[in-house]
């Protein structure tokens, strides 16, 4: 692989992480307001309508955050390749990605089936579009941001690989704190459960990233596959409390 050209550096790695957090906070304020303004103009007659709107909002959020990370990479004198895009993976990354993807998706789907989700029988356009939209967007954007960007900047800032892993997982978990209010009211138990479960997933995906030699492709595929399988059921469960 050819060496990347030397580019001017305008900000430090920890500044880049701080600015990314600020960008996320701004998006978390602006997008819900837009969703609230648009909601009265569209028909939201069923929980699936609400899930569709929430899915679109989430997709817009992660792509906007990915765009912010790309701008910050440029200010760091780096490219997407610097964080693992188009970087070949070791066999261990692929193996770990396969195992974690299968086990995590299987664990969540088993719970959804027990809760009554028609995982094996509903192959509607709604299910396919939501699963594909969230899966592709989360795989590309969230892995690019939380594994590639955050862990690379933390490494460049001198953090040990364990600290990189923990920082990535904590930020990934906190980024999903909004799930605690998807039902229309603040549910502290749901919020904390979601943050904890997402942080654990972040640790696992970060481990794949490190095992792959910092290639984004194995964790990207593992993350996308998990979301292909568990959505839209996870969103429906969070919004309705289990009415599928």
In three-state form (DSSP H/G/I as H, E/B as E, the rest C), the secondary structure along 70-134 is: HHHHHHCCCCHHHHCCCCCCCHHHHHHHHHHHHHHHHHHHHHHHHCCCCCCCCCCHHHHHHHHHH
Q: Average pLDDT of 179-196?
A: 83
pLDDT (0 to 100) of residue 1: 46
> How far from chain centre, in Å, is Cα 221?
12
Boundaries of every domain in the chain: 13-240
Q: Average pLDDT of 110-138?
A: 94
pLDDT (0 to 100) of residue 3: 53
* Position with higher pLDDT, 195 vs 178: 195
pLDDT (0 to 100) of residue 56: 92
For 82-228, strand residue ranges (E) read: none
Answer yes or no: is pLDDT of 69 > 90. yes
Query: What's the whole-model pTM score?
Result: 0.91
pLDDT (0 to 100) of residue 90: 94
Tokens of 144: 């690019």
Q: Average pLDDT of 204-230?
A: 97
For 94-162, strand residue ranges (E) read: none
Determine the Cα–Cα distance for residues 217 and 143; give it in Å rounded to an integer.
9
Q: How confident is the model at residue 5 (pLDDT cuts 50, 70, 90)?
A: low
């Amino acid at each position: 692989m050819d060496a990347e050209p030397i580019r001017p550096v305008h900000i430090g790695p920890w500044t880049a992480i701080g600015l990314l957090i600020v960008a996320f906070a701004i998006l978390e304020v602006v997008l819900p307001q837009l969703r609230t303004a648009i909601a009265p103009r569209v028909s939201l007659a069923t929980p699936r309508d609400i899930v569709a709107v929430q899915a679109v909002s989430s997709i817009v959020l992660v792509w906007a955050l990915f765009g912010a990370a790309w701008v910050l990479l440029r200010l760091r004198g780096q490219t997407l390749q610097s964080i693992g895009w188009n970087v070949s993976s070791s066999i261990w990354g692929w193996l770990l990605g396969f195992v974690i993807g299968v086990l995590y998706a299987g664990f969540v789907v088993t719970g959804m089936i027990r809760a009554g989700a028609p995982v094996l029988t509903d192959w509607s356009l709604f299910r396919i579009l939501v699963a594909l939209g969230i899966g592709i967007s989360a795989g590309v954007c969230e892995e690019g941001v939380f594994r590639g960007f955050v862990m690379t900047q933390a490494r460049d800032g001198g953090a040990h690989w364990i600290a990189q892993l923990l920082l990535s997982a904590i930020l990934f978990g906190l980024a999903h704190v909004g799930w605690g209010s998807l039902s229309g009211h603040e549910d502290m138990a749901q919020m904390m459960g979601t943050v904890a479960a997402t942080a654990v997933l972040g640790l696992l995906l970060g481990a794949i990233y490190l095992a792959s030699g910092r290639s984004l492709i194995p964790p990207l595929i593992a993350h996308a596959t998990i979301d292909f399988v568990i959505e839209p059921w996870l969103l429906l469960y969070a919004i309705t409390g289990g009415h599928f």
